[in-house]
């Protein structure tokens, strides 16, 4: 699986899928389902949490691990269908309400055409679906240099709070 960053560059990624129980040590760099995470969460301190990731499906409720969420190293939100836009809001809430600072990854059924929206909602990496290429996602990420709304990314400069531009706007 190829994972790209907000500039559309493929990155090495050390997170590994782990399903189910095991001792705490073996959870290092593991991405757990929400159910598994809940089983382990009591036993983990902040430092350990930062080396663990959580994979949330569309129906998982992040509030169940609200307090711990901000300490996780990775949260992955899986799109069950590209038309179901709930993970966009979940991402915004994770960044804003839960203060999540780790890697926020989008995976599952995603179109390259959604890449910019993902980044601007706070995703920091995207798992490129098999049927698409890294190049297609990278191209989509540079489709727009301007925007009308505040975004989580810091790629666009402030023109006013309503509008964003990466280009210096000539004095009107």
Partner 1 sequence: MYVYDTLDKSLLNQRVAEFRDQVRRRLAGELTEDQFKPLRLMNGLYLQLHAYMLRVAIPYGALSSDQMRKLAYIAETYDRGYGHFTTRQNIQYNWIELSTAPDLLFDLSEIDLHAIQTSGNCIRNVTADPYAGAAADELDDPRVWSEIIRQWSTFHPEFSYLPRKFKIAVTGSDADRAAIKFHDIGLKIIRSDAGELGFAVYVGGGQGRTPIVAPLINSFLPAKDLLRYLDAVLRIYNLHGRRDNIYKARIKILVKSLGVDSFASQVDTEFARLDPALFVIEDGELSRIRDMFAVSYSRAEGDDEARLEESPEMRRWSDSNTHAHKTPGYAIATISLKPIGGVPGDATAEQMYAIADLADRFSFGEVRVTYTQNLVLPHVRQADLFVLWSELERLGLATPNIGLATDIIACPGLDYCSLANARSIPISQRISERFSDLESQHDIGPLDIRISGCINACGHHHAGHIGILGVDKKGEERYQLTLGGQGNGESAVGKIVGPGFDEDGIVDAVENVISTYLNVRSAGEPFSETLERTGHAPFKERLYDRN
Q: Which residues bind partner 1 (CB under 8 A)?
A: 82-86, 88-90, 92-93, 96-97, 111, 113-114, 116-118, 120-121, 143-151, 159-163, 165, 167, 169-170, 172
CB of 52 to partner 1, least distance (A): 25
Structure tokens at 136: 């297609």
Min CB(145)–partner 1 separation in Å: 6
Per-residue buried b or exposed e for 27-66, using 16+ beta carbons within 10 Å of the residue's own CB: beebbbbbebbeebbeebeeebbebbbbbbeeebebeebe
Shortest distance in whole angstroms from residue 149 CB to partner 1: 6
CA dist., res. 45 & res. 74, Å (int): 15
Nearer to partner 1, 1 or 170 (CB): 170
In the complex, the smallest distance separating the C-beta of residue 119 from partner 1, rounded to whole angstroms, is 8
Contact 70, 101 (CB under 8 A): yes
Whole-number Å distance between alpha carbons of 152 and 124: 10
Nearest to 126 by CA among 71, 164, 88: 88
Give the nearer residue to partner 1 in terms of CB position, either 48 or 165: 165
Rank residues 29 and 151 by Cβ distance to partner 1 and give the closer one: 151
Smaller CB distance to partner 1: residue 38 or 153? 153
CB 160, min distance to partner 1, A: 5
Q: How far, in Å, CA of 124 to CA of 6, rounded? A: 6
Nearest CB to partner 1, comparing residues 40 and 164: 164
């Amino acid at each position: 699986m190829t994972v790209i960053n907000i500039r559309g560059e493929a990155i090495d990624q050390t997170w590994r899928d782990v399903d189910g129980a095991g001792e705490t040590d073996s959870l290092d760099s593991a991405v757990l389902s929400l159910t598994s995470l809940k089983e382990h969460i009591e036993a983990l301190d902040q430092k350990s949490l930062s080396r663990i990731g959580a994979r949330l499906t569309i129906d998982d409720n992040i509030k169940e691990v609200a307090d711990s969420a901000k300490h996780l190293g990775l949260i992955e939100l899986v799109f069950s269908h590209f038309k179901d836009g709930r993970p966009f809001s979940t991402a915004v809430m994770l960044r804003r309400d839960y203060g999540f600072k780790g890697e926020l990854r989008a995976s599952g059924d995603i179109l390259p055409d959604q890449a910019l929206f993902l980044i601007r909602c706070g995703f920091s990496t995207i798992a490129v679906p098999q049927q698409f290429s890294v190049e297609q996602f990278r191209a989509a990420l540079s489709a727009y240099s301007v925007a009308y709304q505040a975004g989580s990314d810091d790629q666009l400069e402030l023109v006013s709070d309503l509008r964003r531009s990466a280009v210096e706007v000539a004095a009107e």
